[in-house]
A and B are shown apart, each in its own frame.
Chain A
């Protein structure tokens, strides 16, 4: 029978209050459904960021020195201030919800405005930080060097000093400018006498070859066969990192040398800024999204659309704003407090 009362768009029912969809029994049912829906959406947000947190965890666990090094370039003060700003805006948002439930709509408007200001402040500070980084040339990605030729992979294993010199001569004799130059470049490579590199030795001499199930002892010996020590020297190894970091912490320079000018910078140092910009960037987008939502709520409130009986959108908008806050609560220590 009810179908006769439903408007063509199927959205409202004369038996219902304005805000109640035709398929709901009462406001409470609709409110609770909205709430559950919002929380499910928040769960997807958690997993969305979860991907980035996973990338962070993997890279930090395997290359802690990169993060120790990179975080020195971030300003803890700004980070802390921003945390404060975001927490306060969370408070005002929560207050807005309470006032809405009590039907005090003027207070709601004030609180929403304050929250909006909090969002603006947060983005302003982020802008300051970002522009400073860009000015120094810290972009995400490969800003620290051009993309290398991955195809020179076996190179460190391939050349011996003797071969290089011979080849260089040969190249020049053959009148090959290109080749000679080429060989000179290779001559720069750290190289070892052929015997030390050991692939002329019989296989038995190669030591514990073979992937064993616990990979801790895997192939180190073997790589020392294939790889010159200078390259081996770069192998990640916790003590080395700690020692390195310690040396850095001990005489922490007032002005850090720019990574491009710093030969001691860890391998792949740019990865810290990649992940920093990715995570804070995605979070920033969410802040902007939240700001838009709050503005929308503000407009609806001013249009007297909400009251003590119906303030679901404010409540849900609040939930979204709080999750943005929660994510920042984790981002702050992960990047600024290393």
Chain B
């Protein structure tokens, strides 16, 4: 009956994302090799499956007999045949031997990154991705920009729990282990945008922990990164809120809504008013008001926002848990300012449903953020 499944899905198979029937499109040097092995095994499997099922059905039909038809049973068929049994022990043994060798060969290629790989530092934390380009001092969120035809090596770790970075089009996957550096490498062969998933279960919004890999030709890549490296410094302060909304907020989006719905964390809508009024109440019973003002813990409301971004565990708003990771070391000073400004001017940026009022452009490069999907 598996044929049913096969036929039913055949057409869709072709339809999906320019891939083949079994595999998505391949866009890395490793992918072709993986696909070849996959289809090699496929052919072996089709053969054996057809063979065995045919034999099964044939025997079932050929030797069917109702109880009333046979009064007694004969014992003429053989119960044992050493050559036959040896055959179907040794032949599979040889086949799997070959398979092991092929697999190991491909795998060693996958783990052995070229020396001149372009380094990227990846931090996966609940439930967003951060990609840092050490060569440019650039931090990307929810989008990874990589050069075309150049080996890229991701050195990855996680501050909280296990995650796993998976790019189907590149056929690469590796877990991010907290307290450890893991790494994987690939060399993209086609410009374009590809999906990046988290495939190690990491809690509530595991299935929203998505990102996009953008493969750009070398020159485009360099000037894109160059721009990113300078953007928030070049911007003048009036553009900072829009910048924060477009480029930073997607790391908050999975927990903090813009439309007043409370998620894992409080909504950003009206957060600034609450902060100014100091009406926020914390799990330790204190209210923000009591801590603000000269001599208080926070001289100005901005400091509270800063503190919540850098030390989220310090004060936890009532009815919420301390699920938020710190962004210490991931946001530069000016980016934190941008966040504060965004919160201040949120009403002018988004309507009450949280949709951007006029999509503000940060730079020409079209930016797609995987995290909102």
Contacts and interface: CB of A to CB of B under 8 A. Distances in A.
Interface in B298-337: 298-300, 302-303, 306-307, 310-311, 313, 325-326, 328-330, 333, 337
A70 B266 CA distance: 46
A177 interface: yes
Interface stretch (B111-119, B204-212, B364-372): B111-119
A213 B105 CA distance: 12
Nearest to B296: A177
Contacts of B159: 150-153
B192 interface: no
Interface in A89-130: none
B219 interface: no
A222 interface: yes
A215 to B, nearest CB: 10
Interface in A163-213: 167, 170-171, 174-179, 182, 199-204, 206-213
A88 B15 CA distance: 77
A210 B153 contact: yes
B306 A178 contact: yes
A92 B303 CA distance: 72
A303 interface: no
Interface stretch (A12-20, A134-142, A154-162, A312-320): A154-162
B326 A152 contact: yes
Given A151-B325, A182-B310, A211-B113, A170 B125 contact: no
6 contacts: A150-B179, A155-B328, A176-B302, A199-B135, A210-B153, A219-B183
Contacts, number: 111
Contact of B300 (A155, A171, A175, A211): A175
Given A200-B134, A210-B112, A213-B108, A178 B298 contact: yes
B137 interface: yes
A179 B310 contact: yes
B112 A170 contact: no
B112 A212 contact: yes
* Chain B interface mostly: loop
B160 interface: yes
B155 interface: yes
The 7 A-B residue pairs with the shortest CB-CB distance, nearest first, are A199-B134, A210-B113, A151-B159, A158-B329, A178-B307, A151-B325, A151-B326
Nearest to B123: A154
Contact of B111 (A203, A207, A213): A213
A247 interface: no
Nearest to B336: A179
Q: Which of B114, B125, B135, B297 has the most C-beta atoms of chain A within 10 angstroms of its own C-beta?
A: B135
B181 A154 contact: no
Contacts of A151: 125, 159-160, 325-326, 328
Interface string B65-102: 00000000000000000000000000000000000000
B121 interface: yes
B155 A222 contact: yes
Contacts of A211: 111-113, 183
A152 B328 contact: yes
B186 interface: no
Place the interface of chain B in its size category: 35 or more
A203 B116 contact: yes
Nearest to A179: B306
Interface string A214-256: 0000010011001000000000000000000000000000000
Nearest to A194: B137
A152 B326 CA distance: 8
B26 interface: no
B232 interface: no
Given A151-B326, A170-B333, A203-B135, A175 B299 contact: yes
A200 B135 CA distance: 5
A203 B125 CA distance: 26
B303 A208 contact: no
A209 B117 contact: yes
Contact of A209 (B115, B158, B160, B307): B115
Given A203-B116, A210-B153, A211-B112, A154 B121 contact: yes
A304 interface: no
A105 B185 CA distance: 74
B128 interface: no
Contacts of A150: 159-160, 178-179
Contact of B299 (A158, A177, A199, A222): A177
B303 A177 contact: yes
B257 interface: no
A322 B339 CA distance: 67
B250 interface: no
A159 B329 contact: yes
Nearest to B111: A211
B214 interface: no
A283 B302 CA distance: 56
A203 B185 CA distance: 14
Nearest to A185: B328
A212 to B, nearest CB: 6
Interface in A290-319: none
A157 to B, nearest CB: 8
B157 interface: yes
A147 B15 CA distance: 51
Contacts of B137: 199-200
Contact of A153 (B113, B123, B134): B123
Contacts of A158: 329
A299 B330 CA distance: 69
A158 B132 CA distance: 11
Contacts of B306: 176, 178-179
A153 B180 CA distance: 10
A147 to B, nearest CB: 10
B252 to A, nearest CB: 15
